[in-house]
Each structure stands twice: as C-alpha cells, then as structure tokens.
Amino acid sequence: MVASIYPDYPPALTSEQSDYLFSNVKDWSILNGLAVRPSSSFVSEKIDPSRSLAVTAPVTLFPSLFPRACFQEARAIQTAYNELYACIANDEDWLGEVVKELAEVDDYISNLWNVHQAVKKEGYVQVLQNCSLPLQDYMVHKDPSKPDAEPEIKQVEFNTIASSFGGLSAKVSALHKHLLSISAYPPTTPSLISDTSLPPNPSIASISRGIATAHKAYGRSKNNTQLPLCTLFIVQDPENNAFDQQALATNLLTDHSVLTFRLPFSAVLSHTSIPADSPSRPLIYTPPHSPRTPYEVTTLYFRAGYSPAEYNSPESWKGRLHLERSAAIKCPSILTHLAGSKKIQQILATPSSPHLSHFLSSTSSAACINRIRNTFAAIYPLDDTAEGKHAISIATDTENARGYVLKPQREGGGNNIYELKIPPFIKSLGDNSKKYRGYILMNLIEPPALRNSVFRNGEVRSGEVIGELGVYGVCLWRHCRSEKGEREILENWEAGHLLRTKGRESEEGGVAAGFGAVDSVCLIDV
Amino acid sequence: MVASIYPDYPPALTSEQSDYLFSNVKDWSILNGLAVRPSSSFVSEKIDPSRSLAVTAPVTLFPSLFPRACFQEARAIQTAYNELYACIANDEDWLGEVVKELAEVDDYISNLWNVHQAVKKEGYVQVLQNCSLPLQDYMVHKDPSKPDAEPEIKQVEFNTIASSFGGLSAKVSALHKHLLSISAYPPTTPSLISDTSLPPNPSIASISRGIATAHKAYGRSKNNTQLPLCTLFIVQDPENNAFDQQALATNLLTDHSVLTFRLPFSAVLSHTSIPADSPSRPLIYTPPHSPRTPYEVTTLYFRAGYSPAEYNSPESWKGRLHLERSAAIKCPSILTHLAGSKKIQQILATPSSPHLSHFLSSTSSAACINRIRNTFAAIYPLDDTAEGKHAISIATDTENARGYVLKPQREGGGNNIYELKIPPFIKSLGDNSKKYRGYILMNLIEPPALRNSVFRNGEVRSGEVIGELGVYGVCLWRHCRSEKGEREILENWEAGHLLRTKGRESEEGGVAAGFGAVDSVCLIDV
C-alpha cells in the first residue's frame, strides 16, 4: 500500500450527520433515477416477480479526492485518443496482422475479424463510423520508489464498445453537488468539498448528443418505401442496469426527438431484417408491439455483444454479421470494436513500440503523442524478443515480480495474477513457453491510499478504495475505403467522465459486480 | 352504476403491446422519481432494513377520460375558491360560532380552536397567511335520472392542509405524455389520447413557487443575531410517500435557492425553539446534523398534523401551539386549517345557506358565486330545522335513501354509510335524535362508468374505476386583525391538478391505501 498523498478524508461524521447524509442520498437518488434493479440476492424473484422494485445504484457517499492536474490531463487528451481509435479502426492491414498473430490463442478476435472480412467481401454500404463513447480508463499512479514524483494518470484499458454508466455518472456528480448544497458535508479545514472542487459532468447530454449526431448523419430512409427512423440499443437480457441506458434514451427523445428501442442481442435475427432486394441494405426493426409500423434503424448502440461469453452459438455470430452488413451506423463497427481489444493496448504500450507514432504522426504533434504515451503503463509480451525474455525473467523471479500484474491476452480470458502470485503461476504452465504467449506482464499501477463509503444493496460499507477515472469521447468519421486508412473526422469531442470506485481489498470487479460504486471527483491540488 | 358517457376505452392491447407499455411505465417512473417506498406487506423490513428500495408509485397505465368542460370549469374557479378560504379563515366570529356548535361532538375541532384562542390572547406576530395548496376535490357527476344532462363537477371535499401528490401528479401527466410519444398507446378511432387531449400539469413547479413566495414574503431574519433561513416540512414518520414531498423540496432548492428541512410532527418540540427574549418570536430549527448552525424557519409546510389520530398526547397539542405562536408563515395557520373542515363544507353546501354569498359578495360577481355553488352536492343536517326533518325522513326510508351517503360530522370520524345501508344504521343509533347530529346526509355523486388499469405494488389490476379531480391553489394574504375579516390578497393562482383514480368496488380509500392510483386526464368533449 502506498501512503496517502491526500489530507485526512472523508471527514468523520457524528451519527446524526451520518443519518442526514444517508437519508438524503437514499431519497435524492430515487427522486432522480440514480437507480438499478436490485439483484436477486437482495430481493428474490418470489417477492418481486414483475421486477418492479428499484434501489439506489451503487454510489459513494462522498466524492473521492482526485488530483486536479491528472483530471485535466485526462480530459485534455481525449480528442487525440478518439483520433487514435479512428486511425487504428481504419487500418485494416495492420489490424489483420494483429489478428493473425492472435488467431491461435483467441477465437473471439478471429471471429470478429471474420465478420468484417465477410462484409468487406460483399461490400460495406455504410462509410460513417461512429464511436459515441469510447471510454478511456485511468488510475492515478504515484511511483512508490520516488516520494517526490507528481501523481500521474496511467491507462488501465480503453473500451470502444458498451462503455457503461454514462447515464448514471452525471447523476452521481449532481448527487454530490446536491449534498454539498444542503450542507450534508460538514465543513473541513482546509475546505475540500466546494463548488470549485466538484466539476460539472455532462455525460448524459453529451453522449446522447453523440448518438443523435450519428442518427442525423444517417440521412433519410434508404428503404424503397420511406420508413420512420429510430436508433436501436442492443442490450443484455435481463439487464439490472437499464436505467443507465434509459437515461440516454430519454435524453435522445426529449432533447433530440430521436426515438429509441431496446432489443436483446439474442433477439436480433428474429426482430430485424434487411430487405433482400435493397442494395442499400437498410436495417428494418419491427417492434413486437407495433407489427404494422416497422422502423429503419439509423444507429446501432451496442450495450451487449462485447464479451466472448455472449457469443455462445452460431446464431450469435450470424446476428452480429447481420447487423454489420446493414446500413445502420454501428456504434461501434467491428473494426472499431477490434481497435479497443486488449491486444491492441498491449502492442501500443510495449515500450519500444513504433505504432503510436505511426498512427498519430500525421495529425498530432510530437508533444501530444508524448502525452498519450505517458499515460501508458509499460506492457511486455512473454516471447522470444529481447523485451519478452526480460519480462519472463521478471515473471519467474519471486523477488522481482513485486510491482507487476500478469494478464491473459484473450478478451474475457479470466482473472489477472498479481505480484508474488505470478512466479508460481508461470511455473504451473509447465515448460512449454508457447503457453506464455497467452499472457502479458504489466507494471502494476499504484494508486494513492484513499478512503470512502460505498452504498450498495441497501448497505453502507466504508474502507480503503481505489478509483478508476474514465473519460467518454464521441467521434464520428467517414472511412474512405478506397485508400488504406484514409478518413475524415466529422465530429470529435470529450463527453464527460466517470469515476468508478471499488474496495481496495477486491483486486478485480466493476461496479455491477462486487463491492464497487459510481463516484465523482473532488479535485485537489497535490 | 351509471352507463358510460364515454367511448370504449382504454383500447384493448395485444400481449406484446401490453408488455411494451408495462415495461416503459416501470422504467420511466423509476428514471423520473415517480416512486414510493414499498409497503411492509410488499417488502418486509427483514429484507430491506435500511428502507432503500423503491417502487413505482401507484399509477394508472392510461390517462382517464375526463370531460373537457368539467376540467376547464374546475380550473377556472380555483382562484375564487382560494378567495373563499381566505374569507372564511379571516372571519373569526363566524368560525367561533361553528366551533361552538360542534364542541359537543368534535374535540379535535375544539382543540384546534383553543390553540388559535391561546395565540390570539398572546397576540399573533405573523399577519401573513399562506395556503399553498388547498386542494379542491371534485367528481364528475351525471344525474342518472336525466339522460340528456351535461356532466358537471361536484365537490367531494376541500383540503386546506397536507394536500398530497402534487409532487407526483405532474410526473404522472408527463409519464402518460411520454407513453404517447413512444407509441405505447395504440391508435384508436376516434383518436382519444393525443397531444391536445393531455393538458400540461405544472403542479410541482407551481406549488413550490407558492412556498417560495411565502418564504420571500417572510423577509429578513427576525432573530437578534441574523440566522440563515429555511422552510420546514412537518412530516409523518415513517413516510412512504416522501418522494412526493421531496420533489417539492428539490424544486425549492434548484429553482428558488430555498433550503428545506424535514421534521416529524412528533419531534417539533425537541428540535425547534422560540427565544424567550424575542418579541418577534422567530422559530429556530436546529438540525441534529448541524447543531452549531441553527436556522430560522420562514415557512411551515404541514404534511402531518392534519388527522385527529396524530394528536394522541398533550405534547402533540403543545407542539401545534408552539408552531402557531411563532413568526413562521404557516401553511396553513389554524384558522385556515379550520376553514377546510368537513363541517364548514357542510354549512356552505346546505341548500338554503346564505354563507357563500356572505363571504364572496364583496369580491365576486353573482355569476361567479353561482358557479361555485353549482359545484356543491346538496348537504343536509339531521336536525330540527325543516331541511333537517326532511333529511331524517329520507335517511330512515329504505326506498328514498338510494342516491345518498351519510357522513359523520367529525374529522377523521370513520367510514361513510352508503344508500340502502343508511336506514338500518340510523335505526342502530336508537331513538336519541341528538346522536343524529353527528352525521350529515349528502346527495351521492354519480360518476360515469370508466375503465382503467392500475399498477401498484408490482401488480397491474384492471377494472371499473372512479376518478376524483383535484385542483391545487396557492394563496398568500395579509390578515388585518384589527377589523373583522379584513384582508389583503397578495398572491392567488391555480397551481396544477391531480386526478386520483380508484377501483369502483372499493367505496373508500385513497391512493396511499387500497386499490387507488395517481392518474392524469385525457380530455374529451362529451
């Protein structure tokens, strides 16, 4: 554990202060739709067969302290990151090489690539690529061996598909502001929670505007007879976190007059169709509740289909192919989905890698590229290269493994292995060094110690926590398939942020599973 | 049962349409805080000890058909009704006579009067009277004996204290508009649910503005050392319907920068004080969570203290007296509370009564007074007057009692007796005609047949329903205590509406108990 760089926080509360804070969190959250459906372990199906109950989404009672400079840097480089995804997604040759290398260990990536190849062979009908909400995830890192070092942000992962909590995050920021305004946070010396330390968070409005922008860019109905237009959210079923998505759908309707429907990923083939006689391949959605009024889908927003476990039958892959070949703007397309894969992150973050400069040098300054590179935690392959050999020597050494984490290369490939558990794990793989290639070694990010209280499932738990800052981005570009990698960026903006906080004792797990919560930042100059 | 004057409604749904409608009602309501805490019969305390769960407030799935002319009339006369309350509340001599008459049968009314007398003796320090949200309750009445008669509104009761659901009603109107906008209501011929048939309902904003107006009218702190100002909601504990109230409190904060605290009626004496040395008697509230920052209460908004059952100890009356003698603007004051009592309604609605004209003739036209009178259902005392004797003859006759309801005069005095159950009930009172005086006889209002579906406690139930339209009003006036009844109206407006709908089979019960729900109006020309 790294010593805290922050002042004593959060302030201690009397039981009356605690009651006041807690009861206002409970009431404000429900009043403002900051909610989830309770898990079946909290409320059994027998008690609530119609799934009508709701409970406050997992939230922290206090905004977590976060270095102001780190927050500003993460926001500032988001549009350059958006550009980077667009570049990678447009470079099919390069992506093809990566996939070839992975094919042996990762069926999922191969299958995604095959979907793209199949559509490419037939010919894409949609050149607009949308990536409303890639989410850059960072942790604050403070090198434990350098006490005087400034804290900095280090990339944990980047997500180009199904980034969640954008519909809740703005509300948590508003919740913490509300608690401040009703004096639910007792004054501290120095004053930490204040109007200037709680930045605005437009995630709902900004992400919705991203989807609406794609919707508008689609243009008129491409069907032989003009159809009404809609956007379609591809979702999981059941979905406890539907309110997160519904906040975006409601905003699309009220602020942009865009109608949204929700469709489980598993029901794609039964409820959507592409007319066989239409060369422009409009995606037609026929809502079960209104079979005589089909809609044409302008924009597909994936909140499902991102995990290998969801592709459990040939039908799943057929469904994904069906969507990909349609004229709908995909958020994301297969190529953008691939651009967000773990493997790409690993390639970019390998210290000697030339790829980052390769992608950005035509559009970004060397200084900007450097700022992005600075957010990478060093990632090493376990292979025959010089770097790979060095990494293997670390991973097999009980002393040196401290400060590292071993991660599987596969998407959804199981749990990470931390520090001193690495050498015995490597040993358990046996002598076959080919098996090593399924893993990468990464510098462990060391976030400074922090405390907070998390309210979830009706219970408050306090303790040491780790926060992960996500920055949302919206990017819409035109893929000019005639020349390799050529593109035209039409829209590109930073779209709000997300702080996810989890208990320090749990080494993995997000807000939706385990002891994690949606948080907001309380900026501090450290 | 009266035959329906409406077209066939609501439309029949396929199971897919029903699923779509229901799932959108469930999600939109939680997303927008249209919620209540579940009752303990739905979710036991054992499952949710922190009372964190919430569920959609009882709502109808469809807006209920309502005659447009009736709706417009109810809204149009609200400000005259507000004026009427102000007149009655200001006429202490007249109120004193009523109380004297009631003293034998109603301790509660006597006790309220005693509180007023005690403060009067000491001298009132606050001349501003606020009645943010009296609620006029009407039913649509269609005389069954006159098939060609137009439907008309008839007053059920008027409430000058603790009118609820203003924080939910605007949301139900918005819910039904949302369902229309996402095509959850299948088209009908003729088209019934449309943009023009669903009127706007500003209850939240308008009622909050009423409370904020009182807050502002209070002026600066009257304490020796200036204190921060707040409004105080006097509430029940526990309160399942807190979100209704919180919607107003949140609006007060966001739209008017007015801070609100909630205090259980039973805790008034322990958490508020009036400095003994201050002739202006500011009401000081010391929040338990912030004992070093006391607040001065500008406005007391009663959401408790309205029912005789809440005054179960001498402390309760002491608490009410304590609040009444303070400088806070009471919403309502004791006199306004009394103006809304059942007995006053009875006196005004007795057909030969001169009181309505007496109160309004100086400010309202004869036509306006007549419009108000037309909303009264005839009410008869059971006493020695000519009208009283006639009423007794009806109430004891098994044939004639049809079409009437017998109501106790006491506030909170138990259940009503309907139609043919009246004669045996009168018989059970024995020969002592003095006991008759505890009751009044009233023409039964005959609302036209209507169907709807109610969603409450996670279940949907459909059937025949009765709707009760409430219209909220805001009135702020200055009581010039020097002369009898003199007053100056500072603010007076109609403040949105409420349609409460309940199953027809249940003869009593509101939305919070039994098979009732918050509804919205779908206007129709009949």
d(CA B57, CA B37): 8
Nearest to B30 among A243, A253, A291 (CB): A243
Residue B152 belongs to some domain of the structure: yes
Name every residue whose Cβ is closer than 8 Å to that of residue B101 and which is 6 or more positions away in sequence.
none
Q: Which residue range forms the structural domain that includes residue B417?
A: 379-443
Both B367 and B385 in one domain: the answer is: no
Both A355 and A289 in one domain: the answer is: yes
- Split at pLDDT 50, 70, 90, the class of B461 is confident
Both A238 and A140 in one domain: the answer is: yes
Residues in chain A with pLDDT values less than 50: 1, 506-513
Residue B497 belongs to some domain of the structure: yes
Query: What are all long-range contacts of B420-427, with beta carbons under 8 Å and residues at least 24 apart?
Result: B422/B395, B423/B395, B423/B396, B423/B397, B423/B398, B426/B392, B426/B395, B426/B396, B427/B396
Name every residue whose Cβ is closer than 8 Å to that of residue A260 and which is 6 or more positions away in sequence.
A230, A231, A232, A233, A248, A249, A252, A253
The A residues from 274 to 303 touching B (CB cutoff 8 Å) are 287-291, 293
Contact A27 B242 (CB under 8 A): yes
Give per-residue pLDDT as tens, A144-181.
778 888 999 999 888 899 889 999 999 999 999 999 99
3-state secondary structure B374-408: HCCCCEEECCCCHHHHHHHHHHCCCCCCCCEEEEE
Residue B486: its pLDDT value, please?
A: 64
Question: B421: which 2 tokens?
Answer: 């159950």
Residue B183: its pLDDT value, please?
A: 94
Report DSSP letters for A308-371, one per residue. GGG--SHHHHHHHHHHHTSSSEEET-HHHHHHTSHHHHHHHHSTT--HHHHHHTTTS-HHHHHH
d(CA B455, CA B245): 21
Residue A16: its pLDDT value, please?
A: 97
- Pick the residue of B44, B52, B230 with the most A CBs within 10 A to test the interface with A by mutation: B52
The B residues from 150 to 179 touching A (CB cutoff 8 Å) are 178
Region class of B42: left (phi > 0), else alpha (psi between -120 and 50), else beta: alpha
Q: Kindly report the CA angle at A279 between A277 and A282, in degrees rounded to 5? A: 90
Task: Tell me if the bond preceding A10 is cis, omega within 30° of 0.
Answer: yes
For residue B173, the distance in angstroms to the closest alpha carbon of chain A comes to 15
B245 or B146: which carries more pLDDT confidence? B245
Contact B43 A38 (CB under 8 A): no
The DSSP secondary-structure symbol of B336 reads H
Both B280 and B402 in one domain: the answer is: no
Instruction: For residue B473, give the 3-state DSSP assignment.
Output: strand
Residue A47, chain B, CB below 8 Å: the answer is yes
Report DSSP letters for B73-115, one per residue. HHHHTHHHHHHHHHHHHH-HHHHHHHHHHHTTT-HHHHHHHHH
Both B510 and B405 in one domain: the answer is: no
Both B338 and B470 in one domain: the answer is: yes
Instruction: For residue A429, give the 3-state DSSP assignment.
Output: coil
Strand partners, A261: A232
For residue B144, the distance in angstroms to the closest alpha carbon of chain A comes to 39
B430 or B442: which carries more pLDDT confidence? B442
Residue B136: its pLDDT value, please?
A: 84
Q: In chain A, what's the furthest Cα-to-Cα distance?
A: 71
Residue A265 contacts residue A248 (beta carbons within 8 Å): no
Both B412 and B481 in one domain: the answer is: no
d(CA A281, CA A325): 8
Instruction: For residue A138, give the 3-state DSSP assignment.
Output: strand
Residue A333 belongs to some domain of the structure: yes
Residue B256, chain A, CB below 8 Å: the answer is no
Residue A284 belongs to some domain of the structure: yes
Name every residue whose Cβ is closer than 8 Å to that of residue B5 and which is 6 or more positions away in sequence.
B67, B142, B151, B448, B526
Residue B229, chain A, CB below 8 Å: the answer is no
Q: Which H or E element spans position A462?
A: strand A459-479
For residue B215, the distance in angstroms to the closest alpha carbon of chain A comes to 17
In chain A, the number of structural domains is 2
Question: B478: which 2 tokens?
Answer: 């200055």
Both A113 and A66 in one domain: the answer is: yes
Give per-residue pLDDT as tens, A438-458.
888 998 888 888 899 999 989
CB pairs under 8 A between A and B: 131
Residue bearing tokens 């918050």: B518
d(CA A278, CA B463): 47
Both A496 and A457 in one domain: the answer is: yes
Residue A3 belongs to some domain of the structure: no
Residue A132: its pLDDT value, please?
A: 63
Residue B316, chain A, CB below 8 Å: the answer is no
Give per-residue pLDDT as tens, B241-269.
899 999 999 999 999 999 999 999 999 99
Residue A16, chain B, CB below 8 Å: the answer is yes
Domain boundary, last residue among A443, A459, A487: A443
Residue A508: its pLDDT value, please?
A: 46
Residue B481: its pLDDT value, please?
A: 59
Question: B201: which 2 tokens?
Answer: 């309902």
Q: What is the mean pLDDT of residues B396-417?
A: 85
For residue B412, the distance in angstroms to the closest alpha carbon of chain A comes to 30
Both A320 and A387 in one domain: the answer is: no
User: In terms of CA atoms, which chain B residue is nearest residue A51?
Assistant: B458
Q: In chain B, what's the furthest Cα-to-Cα distance?
A: 71
Give per-residue pLDDT as tens, A508-526.
433 333 568 999 999 999 8
Residue A401 belongs to some domain of the structure: yes
Domain boundary, last residue among B443, B471, B487: B443
User: In terms of CA atoms, which chain A residue is nearest residue B28?
Assistant: A246
Instruction: For residue B372, give the 3-state DSSP assignment.
Output: helix
Q: How many CA atoms lie within 13 A of B240 on its CB side?
A: 17
Give the CATH number for residue B401: 3.30.1490.50
Residue B3 belongs to some domain of the structure: no
Domain boundary, last residue among A413, A443, A473: A443
Residue bearing tokens 């025949």: B464
Give per-residue pLDDT as tens, B183-237.
999 988 888 999 999 999 999 999 999 999 999 999 999 999 999 999 999 999 9
The average confidence (pLDDT) of chain B is 91
3-state secondary structure A340-353: CCHHHHHHHHCCCC
Phi, psi of B76 (to 5 degrees): -65, -35
Per cent of chain A over pLDDT 70 is 95
Residue type, B486: E
Q: What is the C-alpha radius of gyration for chain B, rounded to an integer number of angstroms?
A: 23
Residue A513: its pLDDT value, please?
A: 39
- Pick the residue of B21, B42, B50, B251 with the most A CBs within 10 A to test the interface with A by mutation: B50
* Residues in A touching B458 (Cβ below 8 Å): 48-50, 52-53
Nearest to A33 among B16, B30, B293 (CB): B30
Residue A169: its pLDDT value, please?
A: 97
Residue B10 belongs to some domain of the structure: no
Both A408 and A508 in one domain: the answer is: no
Strands (E), A111-259: 128-130, 135-141, 152-159, 229-235
Q: Which of the residue ranges A409-413, B381-385, B416-420, B472-476 would you say has the lowest mean pLDDT?
A: A409-413
Q: What is the mean pLDDT of residues B6-23?
A: 94
Reply yes or no on whether the pLDDT at B482 is more than 80. no
Both B228 and B143 in one domain: the answer is: yes
Give per-residue pLDDT as tens, A27-53.
999 999 999 999 999 999 999 999 999
The DSSP secondary-structure symbol of B503 reads E
